[in-house]
Amino acid sequence: MTEPDNFKHKIRSFLIFITYYSAWPFSLVRFCRYLKIPLLRVIAFHEIKDEERLNFEKKLDFLKRNFNVISPDDFLARNFSRDRINLLLTFDDAFTSWAKNVLPALKSKNLSAVFFVDDRGLALAPVLHKAGQTIGGHTVGHKRLTKITPGELESEIAENKKGLERAIGRRIVLFAYPFGDRQSFSQAVVDEVRKAGYEAAFTILPGFNRPKSDNYLLHRDSVNPDWSEKFLWMWLSGAYDLWKKL
Ligand SMILES: [Zn+2]
């Protein structure tokens, strides 16, 4: 990690810390709970390396204790708790190490997640599907969708969807924008995702999703399994949401 990154991360940690202790995030959470408005956080993991496996499993236990961890089916059926923060687990890209480091952990904890897979993961998708996990689209070649021609945009989204559906023998309805930041989607991209037949699409912009949230611009939190429980708790309570442009 370079120096400027380090500095940026220190500032980020400081802002999260002061926001958390200002209790502002809890007012929002309590307010929504009072009004019975369900709140959903969505976690995005990427690769879980061998040396991260233990930390990853501990984090799953921590999340189960502190949140209402829902399945992809619960998400699609809008089966949310109104008393606890709901949490959906997702994984992005196409890592063969998922079979070894993620699937057994999810199984032992009786959890299911969405795996957003690009075309590098066409052979992996049936393995994940047979293990009871949900497959989502993530485009053919993981390009920045705002930077390609309309023709490429259509095939990047539609061909990946067709390929995955052929691989698992089932329709897929969830999509995640590659990269997921503010430069990774536009109205044209959203329209193409909807046209392909997806019912919901996820960014990587942190935040709470509420019933009135745009179903094609859902918030997700990119989480590292090495974060401390305290930091993870502060982040998922919304302490970073105010500062997400950093
Ligand atoms: Zn990705």
Chain segment 175-216, per-residue pLDDT in tens: 999 999 999 999 999 999 999 999 999 999 999 999 999 999
Structural domain boundaries in the chain: 39-227
* Helix residue spans in the chain (DSSP H): 3-21, 24-34, 53-66, 72-76, 98-101, 103-108, 125-130, 150-168, 187-195, 229-234
Task: Say which CATH topology domain 39-227 has.
Answer: TIM Barrel (3.20.20)
Better-scored residue on pLDDT, 150 or 244: 150
Band (25; pLDDT cuts 50, 70, 90): low
Chain segment 118-168, per-residue pLDDT in tens: 999 999 999 999 999 999 999 999 999 999 999 999 999 999 999 999 999
Chain position carrying tokens 């993530």? 138
Better-scored residue on pLDDT, 244 or 8: 8
| pLDDT, mean over the chain | 91
CA–centroid distance, 93 to ligand 1, in Å, is: 5
pLDDT of 229 reads 93
CA–centroid distance, 170 to ligand 1, in Å, is: 22
CA 143, CA 154: separation in Å to the nearest integer? 12
Chain segment 42-89, per-residue pLDDT in tens: 999 999 999 999 999 999 999 999 999 999 999 999 999 998 999 999
**Contact 80/70 with Cβ under 8 angstroms?**
yes
pLDDT of 24 reads 65
CB-side neighbour CA atoms (13 Å) of 232: 25
CA–centroid distance, 91 to ligand 1, in Å, is: 9
CA–centroid distance, 92 to ligand 1, in Å, is: 5
Band (1; pLDDT cuts 50, 70, 90): very low
